């Protein structure tokens, strides 16, 4: 946004690829309290609206032969349901609404974030860390509630030689606690990286000679970002299912 | 001067993205090789493919993150 | 921190061009609204959308099952109809064969009768003809005998013998038999 003015008054090209991620109050105002309506809030609410439009209004006719919106809604339902059933197991179906919520929110904020001048909530660690911590806490609590102390068997690899087991246990514990970190940074990092790269190419478009190349590059990156938006939502969801499977069936 | 060193560090950290690219290519290429040998088993393993790609890519994203931190936050 | 200079002239991040993601002053706000968003989406999905879609899918499954059953029924009916048709065809064919056979027998009977009649007529005619031939032959034999007797008497007379009618007749008859 501000690249133009900066480039004009600065020494040469100045990129501000991170400006698009700034959270600011939507209706002016000075400070930012906990309940201020910001642009992040706005795009989250837009994601809610999108989910309601697709999943509720789209299916309101309850047609036996579905229309377009209903087909998409049913496709999303079947996609996530099959994923939960296949990856996490049949007894994880109770978590299906929860996982569906995560999937729909991530998909909608990723895709809405691809609109020009928009804001992507999932590019912020504040959002993805909360999502990942929710999954982490759910998995840990469910694991202990369902299996009791047997859940700790997840870290004690009984198939390994006895001498190796303590070492493996340390590694397993570390990898278990790294899960929410990688889970959150993967999503935010992917989304942020794509948006920032597009912004950098947009900055190059200010130079007349290479602007056609840069516009082509933006187009290509945009196509990749559409793919990444979906794949990251898919990956986040399927990893949630994998972790859930560990919690429900901790035997290695 | 401090900023200059940070920028050099950011550039070095960005090498990690290339390494992650190699890793992702390795995963996808091996999956394709296996899938061409046994196409009937390929469909059931796409989920595994994406999980593998995600793990490989997460490490590249870490290096990208380090680069960003050096660029903007140090 | 970046937002303080925001209203100046679009120079948003001049003061501290850091990563907005690491501006922890916005975290509380984002997390609050994220939780609100997630709760709303969860309620909407679990209370309204997912049961509805599940119901629609189940209903469709039921409809499909019913339709398949109905199709199976219709197929059964079609098979039965075909069987009935084949049965009717076979019956008709049998009937036709019977009629053909009956007709053939009738014709054969008529033919036999006619043949027998014709045979009888032919036999009668043949018998008549034979009788006539026999009569003619008899006549001819008699004539030959008479001619032979006459000729023999004449010969005997011409040779100077005494023509004994009785002897000549016996001789001629013997010759003719032999």
What is the C-alpha to C-alpha distance for residues C50 and C3, in angstroms, rounded to an integer?
41
- Contact at CB, A186 and B50, closer than 8 angstroms: no
The tokens for B9 are 């560090």
**pLDDT confidence of residue A13:** 63
Q: pLDDT at position C86, please? A: 95
Question: How far is it, in rounded angstroms, from Cα A188 to Cα A183?
Answer: 9
Q: What is the mean pLDDT of residues A121-143?
A: 93
Question: Does the CB of A56 have a partner CB in chain C at under 8 Å?
Answer: yes
pLDDT at A141 over 70: yes
Give the pLDDT of residue A241.
Answer: 93
Tell me the residues of chain A between 181 and 200 that have a Cβ less than 8 Å away from chain B: 182, 185-186, 189-190, 192-193, 196
Give residue for tokens 């999303």: A76
Unique residue bearing structure tokens 């011409």: C158
Distance from chain centroid for Cα A36 = 23
Predicted complex: ipTM over 0.85: yes
Q: What is the mean pLDDT of residues A120-135?
A: 93
Predicted local distance difference test score (pLDDT) of residue C7: 39
Partner residue facing A189 (CB), from B50, B53, B61: B61
DSSP state of A120: -
pLDDT at res. A5 = 41
Residues of A in contact with B72 (CB under 8 A): 18
Name the neighbours of A, counting chains with at least 3 Cβ pairs within 8 A. B, C
Distance from CA of B72 to the nearest CA of A (A): 9
Residue in C23, C35, C46 nearest the CB of A97: C46
Provide mean pLDDT across the span A99-111: 95
Q: Least CB-CB distance to B61: which of A185, A231, A234?
A: A185
Spans of all domains in chain C: 14-140
Assess A63–B contact: CB distance below 8 Å, yes or no: no
d(CA A226, CA A198): 12
Which residue, among C142, B34, B54, has the nearest Cα to A240 in the 3D structure?
A: B54
User: Is B50–A189 a contact, with Cβ atoms under 8 angstroms apart?
Assistant: no
Query: Does position C26 have pLDDT exceeding 90, yes or no?
Result: no
Over residues A113-125, mean pLDDT:
91
Provide the pLDDT for residue A252: 57
- Contact list in C for residue B69 (CB cut-off 8 A) is 19, 22
B62 CA: distance to closest CA in chain A (Å):
7
Place of tokens 């190699």: B22
> Nearest CA to A184 among A114, A133, A228, A240?
A133
pLDDT, tens only, B38-55: 999 888 888 889 888 888
Q: What is the CATH number of domain B2-73?
A: 1.20.20.10
The first and second tokens of residue B61, run together, are 């994203």
Q: Which of B20, B32, B30, B22 is nearest to B56 (CA)?
A: B20
Lowest mean pLDDT among A91-95, B8-12, C140-144: C140-144
Instruction: Quote the minimal CA–CA distance from B67 to chain A in Å.
Output: 11
How far off is chain B from C16, nearest CA to CA, in Å?
A: 9
Report, as an integer, the average pLDDT of A43-54.
94
Alpha helices in A10-94, H assignment, sequence order: 39-52, 68-83
The nearest alpha carbon in chain B to A18 belongs to B72
Mean pLDDT estimate for chain C: 84
Tell whether the model's pLDDT for residue C167 goes beyond 90.
no
pLDDT tens column, A161-175: 888 888 989 998 999
CA C157, C158, C163 angle in degrees (round to 5)?
10
Q: Which of B50, B58, B72 sits opposite A182 (nearest CB)?
A: B58
A1–C10: do the CB atoms touch at under 8 Å?
yes
The Cβ of residue A30 has, within 10 Å, a number of other Cβ atoms equal to 10
Task: Report yes or no: A225 and A123 within 8 Å, Cβ to Cβ.
Answer: no
Across the B:C interface, residue pairs with CB atoms under 8 Å apart total 9
């Amino acid at each position: 946004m501000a690249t133009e003015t900066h480039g004009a008054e600065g020494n040469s090209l100045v990129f501000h690829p991170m400006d698009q991620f700034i959270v600011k109050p939507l209706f002016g105002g000075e400070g930012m309290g906990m309940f201020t309506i910001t642009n992040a809030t706005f795009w989250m609410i837009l994601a809610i609206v999108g989910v309601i439009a697709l999943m509720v209004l789209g299916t309101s006719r309850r047609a036996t032969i579905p229309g377009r919106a209903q087909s998409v809604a049913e496709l999303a339902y079947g996609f996530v349901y099959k994923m939960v059933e296949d990856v996490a197991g049949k007894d994880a179906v109770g978590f299906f609404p929860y996982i569906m919520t995560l999937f729909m929110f991530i998909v909608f904020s990723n895709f809405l974030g691809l609109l020009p001048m928009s804001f992507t909530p999932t590019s912020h660690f504040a959002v993805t860390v909360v999502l990942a911590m929710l999954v982490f806490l759910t998995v840990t609590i469910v694991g202990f509630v369902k299996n009791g102390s047997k859940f700790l068997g997840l870290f004690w690899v009984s198939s390994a030689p006895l001498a190796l087991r303590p070492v493996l246990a340390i590694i397993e514990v570390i990898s278990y606690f790294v899960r929410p970190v990688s889970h959150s940074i993967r999503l935010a990092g992917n989304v942020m990286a794509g948006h920032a790269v597009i912004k950098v190419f947009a900055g190059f478009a200010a130079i007349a000679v290479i602007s056609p190349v840069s516009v082509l590059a933006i187009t290509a990156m945009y196509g990749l970002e559409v793919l990444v938006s979906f794949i990251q939502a898919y990956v986040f969801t399927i990893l949630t299912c994998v972790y859930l499977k560990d919690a429900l069936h901790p035997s290695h | 001067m401090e900023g200059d060193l940070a920028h050099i560090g950011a550039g070095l950290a960005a090498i990690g993205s290339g390494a992650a690219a190699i890793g992702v290519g390795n995963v996808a290429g091996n999956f394709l090789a296996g899938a061409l040998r046994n196409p009937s088993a390929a469909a059931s393993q796409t989920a595994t493919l994406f999980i593998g790609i995600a793990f490989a890519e997460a490490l590249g994203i870490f290096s990208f993150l380090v680069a960003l931190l050096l660029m903007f936050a140090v | 921190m970046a937002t303080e200079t925001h209203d100046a002239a679009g120079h948003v991040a001049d003061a501290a061009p850091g990563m907005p993601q690491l501006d922890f002053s916005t975290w509380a706000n984002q997390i609050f609204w994220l939780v609100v968003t997630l709760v709303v989406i969860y309620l909407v999905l679990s209370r309204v959308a997912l049961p509805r879609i599940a119901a629609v899918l189940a209903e469709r499954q039921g409809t499909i099952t019913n339709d398949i059953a109905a199709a199976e029924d219709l197929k059964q009916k079609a098979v039965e109809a075909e069987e009935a048709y084949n049965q009717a065809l076979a019956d008709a064919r049998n009937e036709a064969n019977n009629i053909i056979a009956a007709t053939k027998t009738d014709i054969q009977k008529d033919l036999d009768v006619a043949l027998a009649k014709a045979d009888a007529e032919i036999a009668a005619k043949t018998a008549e003809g034979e009788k006539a031939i026999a009569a003619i032959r008899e006549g001819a034999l008699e004539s030959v005998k008479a001619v032979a007797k006459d000729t023999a008497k004449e010969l005997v007379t011409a040779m100077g013998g005494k023509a004994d009618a009785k002897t000549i007749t016996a001789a001629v008859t013997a010759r003719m038999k032999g």
